[in-house]
Structure 1
């Protein structure tokens, strides 16, 4: 028989993993070398994963919250373009 304490720990862990799966989303991505750029508006905290744009490399952030909108640009500061479907 499984103890109640262990059962509660498993239930809480499953709930936390579910909340994390819902609230952690890819936000901004820039591939570098003139590639298109995806930017978002995050209602939470935007966290920088890596930034290699100084050498014209990729940049990626994640949103810890809810993504309100997503914009796609031709490049950093470029005109808006249609976003590609994932």
Structure 2
């Protein structure tokens, strides 16, 4: 590929700037979410699964927990 087919350098600069500005708080939020989301899962297990909505909530919480672990794994290292 030629360099002219890459996205605009200003867009790349904006993305890098946003990541450097939001990276720390986002990692912190993800880390602490990864710590507390399993307690929500325990509460869901304790109350039982009554219908399809509970299974959807369970799946959403597991996906959110995995995403939080991936995003927040470098927090304070």
Q: TM-score, normalised by structure 2?
A: 0.26
Which is richer in helix?
A: 2
Q: TM-score, normalised by structure 1?
A: 0.24
Give the number of the structure with larger relative contact order, counting CA–CA contacts within 8 Å between residues 6 or more apart.
2
